[in-house]
Amino acid sequence: MNLELDDSIVLVVGGASGIGLACVDRFLAENATVVIFDQSPACEQIATQRKNCHAHVIDITQEATVRAAVTRVEQQIGPIRHVVHAAAVGSGKSGAPFTNLQPSDWRRVIEVNVLGVVNVAHAVTPAMMERSEGTMVFVASVAGQIGSPTDPPYSASKAANINFVQVMAKDLARHGIRVNTVCPGMVKTPLNQTVWQSWNDRQSVADKLTYEQWAAAKIKQLVPLGRWQKAEDIADMIVFLSSARASEVTGQTINVDGGYVMHS
């Protein structure tokens, strides 16, 4: 299947690890040119190890920094045609109930997961509108659809992502720009492991579980297909949604979750 991504410039925000890094490699395999934005300096090494890959170390919570980086990419490399936003943080604390957290625990999550998305969207959209083309895919979470109490700030931020994507899709459709959300389920990423750690820290010594034990129990309980989703599974959907094969898909929330939300 020809996805028609050859020579396209793809911006992957949060491309230094997890789902973002899987997206980097999947787009490169489709002969695209990839630009990584990430707060981790590791993104620079990742770029040097791959052909047609570039990297910028930036903090997406800084609006001016994001705008300047996008301008630099478009001037030095070319027009950004596709955007993948996979950068996110959790609170690092366990909810259930939400009063286990303090309002101050929400601030960083909202700054990165909500305002970071807004900053990127505002930076890339004007040039896409001028060219009347482009796609954006934002990685949210099934937690944003079911009110997951595990990490309330994270769940709420992902619900905000889903809603904002619908707003953008409606606003930008007349300019030929498609915007969608992909929601992973249970994926082995550094963020997922922090969720386990925050839960495990609250358990008695007798009730503590290894990460693998905890995840296996959750999968058995919640995922009909009974297995982990891999970062590459999520990346495959994102690449498809960015491609010409998904030309009539916009404003959608696509779950890659092994049936998690259906089961819930």
Residue 9 bridge partners (DSSP) = 33
Of the pLDDT bands very low, low, confident and very high (cuts 50, 70, 90), residue 215 is: confident
Rounded Cα–Cα distance for residues 216 and 219 (Å) = 5
**Residue 203 within any structural domain of the chain:** no
**Residue 200 within any structural domain of the chain:** no
User: Which entry of 93, 158, 218, 260 is annotated as an active-site residue?
Assistant: 158
pLDDT for res 113: 98
260 in active site: no
Domain with residue 29: its CATH number is: 3.40.50.720
**Residue 114 within any structural domain of the chain:** yes
Nearest-CA neighbor of 139 among 226, 57, 229, 69?
A: 229
User: Which entry of 154, 170, 188, 260 is annotated as an active-site residue?
Assistant: 154
Rounded Cα–Cα distance for residues 165 and 140 (Å) = 10
pLDDT for res 260: 86
**Residue 105 within any structural domain of the chain:** yes
pLDDT for res 259: 93
pLDDT for res 263: 56
- Using alpha carbons only, give the angle 82, 84, 85 rounded to the nearest 5 degrees: 145
Rounded Cα–Cα distance for residues 66 and 72 (Å) = 10
**Residue 262 within any structural domain of the chain:** no
**Residue 1 within any structural domain of the chain:** no
Torsion region of 112: left, alpha or beta (phi above 0 gives left; psi -120 to 50 gives alpha): alpha
Q: Comparing 160-169, 180-189, 205-214, 245-254, which segment has the lowest mean pLDDT?
A: 205-214
pLDDT for res 195: 72
Averaged pLDDT for residues 169-173: 98
Q: State the residue range of the domain holding 64.
A: 9-186+228-257
Q: What is the value of pTM for the model shown?
A: 0.92
63-76 and 116-131 helices, crossing angle to 10°: 30
236 has a pLDDT exceeding 60: yes
User: In the chain, how many domains are there?
Assistant: 1
Tokens, residue 169: 């899709």
158 in active site: yes
Residues 133-160 have pLDDT tens digits of 999 999 999 999 998 888 999 999 999 9
Residues 84-143 have pLDDT tens digits of 999 999 988 877 789 989 999 999 999 999 999 999 999 999 999 999 999 999 999 999
Tokens, residue 25: 């490699």
**Residue 219 within any structural domain of the chain:** no
**Residue 202 within any structural domain of the chain:** no
